[in-house]
Amino acid sequence: MSETRVALITGSSSGIGAAVARRLAAEGMRIVVNSARSEAAGKELAASLPDAVYVQGDVADAADARRIVQAAIDAYGRLDVLVNNAGTTRFIPLSDLDAADADVWRDIFDVNVIGAWQLTTAAVPHLRESGAASVVNISSVSATRAMGSSVPYAVSKAALNHMTRLLASQLGPEIRVNAVAPGLVETPWYNGVDEVWQGSRDWITANTPMRRVGTPEDVAEAVHYLVGAATYTTGDVLTVDGGRHIV
């Protein structure tokens, strides 16, 4: 069995997930790319990396979650890193309570919370065998501040943060569990909401110490740190928002 580390990144056909895949591949890791849709983009990304495979699957579906993990094992015989990046949202003003109905809550929680739980629990037996395994959940600064694309989205990320801490308390020392909480990041999520995006982008640029919004590569660097050098860090939520949280 190869000693090369294997990383599974959910929701990695574009945006933050794709940047994470590229960053970890640059460190020599074997990569499992995943998406629920965007199959062509996922296969294209996998083909562009030195050693990667693509597996289609919806993390919100329990059978798919198990199959995604098994695909990593079938391809490489091991799993060392899991990045729970797959996520969804609805762009609903926080004041519009009626629009955030129960179906919206279920759809968002199924992916952002239950999906991350299903992938992690399916992966744990394999991660334990790694000897130096790491789980990183992609959260959001909206988990701790009264902001975000919608109330259900922000609450889902708050739940993900607490899940991170609870899992870290139970899975150590074999598996470290951390999260990255980005601020506003330029991703394909904002396609079709140009007016909202531009207003947010301008405001963040003017009111953040780094004077810019984030990029997927900024988040990927944080993930790289947590799965690599941060060997004594677990149960942490690392904020990546250009310093917005301090002003």
Cα-flanking dihedrals φ and ψ of residue 72, to 5°?
-65, -45
Q: How far is CA 119 from CA 10, 58, 67, 113, 167, in A?
A: 9, 10, 10, 10, 13
Active site residue 153: yes
Locate 174 and state its tokens: 């074999």
Locate 85 and state its tokens: 């990046």
With beta carbons less than 8 A apart as the criterion, state whether 32 and 8 touch.
yes
Give the active site residue among 54, 76, 153, 190: 153
Locate 119 and state its tokens: 């992938």
Give dist(CA 149, CA 94) in Å, integer: 8
Residues involved in catalysis: 153
